[in-house]
């Protein structure tokens, strides 16, 4: 099952319960939003899709998760990701290009931090969904 409960959604399990309601520590969704309420989203689908595409790589998403707690340098990110410097730098370059992180040089060291105010809220939402999915899968074996 994915963190969004997609494989079990039809059966009413995962984080999506019956009739599209959310389970776990998320709010219950009572009715679909009218099209007018979705208009801002519809008008910005290109930029929002670009944001999700940039976040859609596991390495980049992991970097963003670590930067959620504050500024980190490349060496710290290498250790946290158990990855080579070249790979971490490549992913950071993409995140910089997309405007999701900014770099600050201090001598020989480059420090990175989140630059886009939308990212912490999105990461927090994804973390809530992941926790709910994990709690749902723990109870599934009972």
Give the residue, 70 or 7, on which the prediction is more confident: 70
CA dist., res. 19 & res. 12, Å (int): 8
Instruction: Indicate if the pLDDT at residue 85 is higher than 60.
Output: yes
Q: Considering the entire predicted model, what is its pTM?
A: 0.70
Please measure the distance between the N-terminal and C-terminal CA atoms of the chain and give it in whole angstroms.
17
The mean pLDDT value for 95-104 works out to: 96
pLDDT of residue 3: 38
pLDDT of residue 141: 56
What digits encode the pLDDT tens for the residues 39-62? 888 999 998 899 999 999 999 999
pLDDT of residue 142: 53
pLDDT of residue 12: 37
CA dist., res. 23 & res. 63, Å (int): 28
Residue with tokens 């596991």: 58
Instruction: Indicate if the pLDDT at residue 4 is higher than 50.
Output: no
pLDDT of residue 30: 57
Could you tell me where the beta strands, DSSP code E, fall in the chain? 72-73, 101-106, 109-114
Token digits of residue 65: 């998760």
Give the residue, 62 or 18, on which the prediction is more confident: 62
Question: Domains (ranges, CATH) in the chain?
Answer: 57-137 (1.10.10.10)
* DSSP annotation of 33: P
Instruction: Indicate if the pLDDT at residue 22 is higher than 90.
Output: no
CA dist., res. 138 & res. 84, Å (int): 34
* DSSP annotation of 34: P
CA dist., res. 36 & res. 49, Å (int): 20
With vertex at residue 136, the alpha carbon angle to CA 133 and CA 141, rounded to the nearest 5 degrees, is 130
């Amino acid at each position: 099952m994915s963190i969004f409960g997609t494989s079990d959604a039809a059966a009413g399990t995962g984080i999506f319960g019956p009739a599209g309601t959310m389970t776990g520590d998320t709010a219950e969704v009572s009715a679909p939003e009218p099209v007018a309420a979705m208009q801002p989203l519809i008008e910005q689908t290109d930029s929002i899709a670009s944001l999700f595409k940039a976040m859609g790589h596991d390495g980049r998403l992991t970097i963003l998760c670590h930067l959620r707690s504050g500024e980190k340098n490349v060496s710290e990110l290498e250790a946290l990701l158990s990855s080579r410097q070249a790979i971490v730098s490549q992913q950071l370059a993409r995140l910089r290009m997309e405007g999701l992180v900014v770099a600050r040089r201090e001598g020989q060291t480059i420090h990175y931090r989140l630059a886009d105010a939308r990212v912490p809220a999105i990461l927090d939402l994804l973390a809530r969904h992941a926790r709910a999915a994990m709690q749902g899968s723990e109870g599934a074996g009972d």
